[in-house]
Amino acid sequence: MSELQWTDAAAVDDVPADDVIAVLVGGNEVALYSVEGNVYATDNICTHGHARLCEGFLEGHEIECPLHQGKFDVRSGKPTCAPVTEAIRSYPVKIEGGRVFLSLG
Ligand code: FES
Protein backbone atom coordinates (compact mmCIF):
# COMPACT_ATOMS: atom_id res chain seq x y z
CA MET A 1 0.00 0.00 0.00
CA SER A 2 1.36 3.38 -0.91
CA GLU A 3 1.37 6.16 1.63
CA LEU A 4 -1.04 9.03 1.13
CA GLN A 5 0.43 12.32 -0.02
CA TRP A 6 -0.87 15.24 2.03
CA THR A 7 -1.30 18.79 0.75
CA ASP A 8 -1.68 21.78 3.04
CA ALA A 9 -5.03 23.39 2.19
CA ALA A 10 -5.86 25.91 4.90
CA ALA A 11 -5.62 26.77 8.56
CA VAL A 12 -8.23 25.02 10.69
CA ASP A 13 -9.24 28.48 11.93
CA ASP A 14 -10.02 29.55 8.35
CA VAL A 15 -12.99 27.17 8.23
CA PRO A 16 -15.82 28.69 10.25
CA ALA A 17 -17.79 26.33 12.50
CA ASP A 18 -20.73 24.66 10.72
CA ASP A 19 -19.97 26.48 7.51
CA VAL A 20 -18.25 25.95 4.17
CA ILE A 21 -15.44 27.78 2.36
CA ALA A 22 -13.65 27.21 -0.94
CA VAL A 23 -9.88 26.92 -1.27
CA LEU A 24 -7.63 26.44 -4.25
CA VAL A 25 -5.50 23.33 -3.88
CA GLY A 26 -3.25 22.14 -6.67
CA GLY A 27 -5.22 24.18 -9.20
CA ASN A 28 -8.60 22.73 -8.14
CA GLU A 29 -11.32 24.36 -6.10
CA VAL A 30 -12.07 22.31 -3.04
CA ALA A 31 -14.87 22.95 -0.56
CA LEU A 32 -13.96 22.61 3.11
CA TYR A 33 -16.77 22.01 5.59
CA SER A 34 -16.66 22.24 9.35
CA VAL A 35 -19.28 20.05 11.02
CA GLU A 36 -19.34 19.41 14.76
CA GLY A 37 -15.64 20.13 15.05
CA ASN A 38 -14.60 17.91 12.13
CA VAL A 39 -13.40 19.10 8.74
CA TYR A 40 -14.50 17.43 5.47
CA ALA A 41 -13.44 18.16 1.90
CA THR A 42 -15.08 17.67 -1.49
CA ASP A 43 -14.79 19.16 -4.94
CA ASN A 44 -16.45 22.56 -4.96
CA ILE A 45 -18.33 22.23 -8.26
CA CYS A 46 -21.65 20.40 -8.23
CA THR A 47 -21.90 17.25 -10.37
CA HIS A 48 -25.27 18.41 -11.75
CA GLY A 49 -24.36 21.80 -13.16
CA HIS A 50 -21.78 24.50 -12.80
CA ALA A 51 -22.57 25.70 -9.30
CA ARG A 52 -20.16 26.30 -6.46
CA LEU A 53 -21.08 24.38 -3.35
CA CYS A 54 -19.29 26.95 -1.16
CA GLU A 55 -22.21 29.25 -2.02
CA GLY A 56 -24.70 26.63 -0.88
CA PHE A 57 -26.26 25.96 2.45
CA LEU A 58 -24.68 23.53 4.94
CA GLU A 59 -27.03 21.80 7.31
CA GLY A 60 -25.53 19.09 9.49
CA HIS A 61 -23.53 16.85 7.17
CA GLU A 62 -25.48 17.90 4.07
CA ILE A 63 -24.51 20.61 1.61
CA GLU A 64 -27.32 21.99 -0.50
CA CYS A 65 -26.39 23.19 -3.96
CA PRO A 66 -27.37 26.84 -4.51
CA LEU A 67 -28.61 26.23 -8.06
CA HIS A 68 -31.24 23.45 -7.91
CA GLN A 69 -31.10 22.50 -4.25
CA GLY A 70 -29.58 19.05 -4.80
CA LYS A 71 -27.74 17.74 -1.74
CA PHE A 72 -24.61 15.77 -0.94
CA ASP A 73 -23.31 14.18 2.23
CA VAL A 74 -20.02 16.00 2.81
CA ARG A 75 -18.50 12.93 4.52
CA SER A 76 -18.78 10.66 1.49
CA GLY A 77 -19.74 12.94 -1.39
CA LYS A 78 -22.82 10.78 -1.98
CA PRO A 79 -25.94 12.44 -3.35
CA THR A 80 -28.78 12.60 -0.79
CA CYS A 81 -31.41 14.65 -2.62
CA ALA A 82 -32.52 15.06 -6.26
CA PRO A 83 -31.71 16.30 -8.79
CA VAL A 84 -28.12 15.24 -8.10
CA THR A 85 -27.45 11.58 -8.88
CA GLU A 86 -23.69 11.50 -9.24
CA ALA A 87 -21.46 11.59 -6.18
CA ILE A 88 -19.07 14.43 -5.76
CA ARG A 89 -15.45 13.60 -5.15
CA SER A 90 -14.48 13.71 -1.49
CA TYR A 91 -10.97 13.81 -0.08
CA PRO A 92 -9.37 12.36 3.06
CA VAL A 93 -8.56 15.08 5.59
CA LYS A 94 -6.05 15.19 8.38
CA ILE A 95 -5.51 17.98 10.88
CA GLU A 96 -1.98 18.65 12.08
CA GLY A 97 -0.48 21.66 13.80
CA GLY A 98 -3.61 23.71 13.26
CA ARG A 99 -3.55 23.08 9.50
CA VAL A 100 -5.94 21.15 7.27
CA PHE A 101 -4.21 18.65 4.97
CA LEU A 102 -5.91 16.88 2.08
CA SER A 103 -4.99 13.75 0.23
CA LEU A 104 -5.80 14.59 -3.37
CA GLY A 105 -4.86 11.15 -4.69
FE1 FES B 1 -26.21 21.60 -8.31
FE2 FES B 1 -28.15 21.55 -10.17
S3 FES B 1 -26.19 22.49 -10.26
S4 FES B 1 -28.20 20.73 -8.16
Q: What average pLDDT score do residues 15-25 get?
A: 97
For residue 50, how far is its CA from the centre of ligand 1 (angstroms)?
7
Split into its structural domains, the chain has a count of 1
Which ligand 1 atom sits nearest the alpha carbon of residue 84?
4
Task: Examine residue 59 and state whether it is found in any structural domain, yes or no.
Answer: yes
Mutate which of 64, 65, 80, 86 for ligand 1 pocket (most atoms within 8 A of beta carbon): 65
Residue of 39, 70, 37, 32 lying closest to 54 (CA atoms): 32
Angstrom CA distances, 27 to 5, 20, 41, 97, 99, stand at 16, 19, 15, 24, 19
Task: Examine residue 96 and state whether it is found in any structural domain, yes or no.
Answer: yes
Alpha-carbon Rg of the chain, whole angstroms?
13
**What is the domain-level CATH number for residue 64?**
2.102.10.10
Q: Mind listing the pLDDT tens digit for each residue in 3-17?
A: 889 999 999 999 999
Residue 52 has pLDDT above 80, yes or no: yes
Task: Examine residue 43 and state whether it is found in any structural domain, yes or no.
Answer: yes
Task: Examine residue 17 and state whether it is found in any structural domain, yes or no.
Answer: yes
Residue 2 has pLDDT above 70, yes or no: no
For residue 18, what are the domain limits?
7-102
Task: Examine residue 1 and state whether it is found in any structural domain, yes or no.
Answer: no
> For position 4, what pLDDT does the model report?
87
Task: Examine residue 2 and state whether it is found in any structural domain, yes or no.
Answer: no
Q: What average pLDDT score do residues 71-75 get?
A: 98
